[in-house]
């Protein structure tokens, strides 16, 4: 996040010429941003939105990167108690802006064993989505997924 110029960040990633590692870049970007705290959520989401809009990152890269980060959450969540909630906000915002399917929320919750962390992620997703008219529409059309997620919180 030393680079705040999105085109410059894009150029650096393009120069790597390794699309097979884009999901790892997503995971590491999430990890770095959440490690730095809530003030880095907006720059993170703007970066990922930019790279997705420029068709450098595919929606699948974002999904896989989120799932990779979810797998790490057990280890880092102890040191970063806000990480689950911040991660939930990131996932919701990527769903709203980059077409990340809402079903990925259930996959993420399944990847996280700790119920407390699951709840933090899910509550943040619901709050972020519920605070947006597009998000409300997504929520209303995904009642089955929401029910499945709620069952994972028990």
Q: What are 35-51's pLDDT values in tens digits?
A: 999 999 999 999 999 99
CA distance 59 to 44: 16
- pTM of the predicted model over 0.85: yes
pLDDT at 77: 85
Angle at 68 between CA 43 and CA 129, to 5 degrees: 55
Is residue 1 domain-resident? no
CATH number reported for the structural domain that contains residue 121 in this entry: 1.25.40.180
Is residue 101 domain-resident? yes
Is residue 48 domain-resident? yes
Structure tokens at 112: 């996280």
- The alpha carbon of 88 is separated from its chain's Cα centroid by a whole number of angstroms, namely 6
pLDDT, tens digit, 9 for 90 and up, residues 43-80:
999 999 999 999 999 999 999 999 999 999 989 988 99
Question: Which residue segment(s) compose the domain that 104 sits in?
Answer: 6-152
Cβ neighbours for 30, distance < 8 A, ≥ 6 positions apart: 44, 65, 66, 69, 87, 90
pLDDT, tens digit, 9 for 90 and up, residues 119-154:
999 999 999 999 999 999 999 999 999 999 999 998
Total count of domains within the chain:
1
R_g over Cα of the chain: 15
- The alpha carbon of 138 is separated from its chain's Cα centroid by a whole number of angstroms, namely 16
């Amino acid at each position: 996040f030393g680079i705040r110029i999105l085109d410059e960040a894009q150029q650096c990633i393009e120069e790597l010429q390794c699309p097979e590692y884009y999901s790892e870049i997503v995971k590491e970007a999430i990890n770095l941003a959440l490690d730095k705290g809530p003030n880095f959520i907006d720059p993170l989401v703007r970066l990922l939105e930019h790279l997705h809009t420029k068709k450098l990152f595919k929606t699948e890269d974002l999904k896989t990167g989120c799932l990779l980060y979810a797998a790490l959450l057990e280890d880092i969540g102890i040191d970063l108690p806000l990480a689950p909630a911040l991660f939930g906000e990131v996932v919701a915002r990527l769903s709203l802006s980059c077409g990340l399917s809402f079903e990925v929320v259930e996959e993420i919750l399944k990847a996280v064993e700790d119920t407390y962390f699951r709840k933090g992620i899910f509550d943040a997703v619901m709050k972020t989505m519920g605070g947006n008219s597009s998000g409300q529409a997504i929520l209303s059309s995904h009642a089955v997924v929401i029910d499945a997620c709620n069952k994972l919180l028990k």
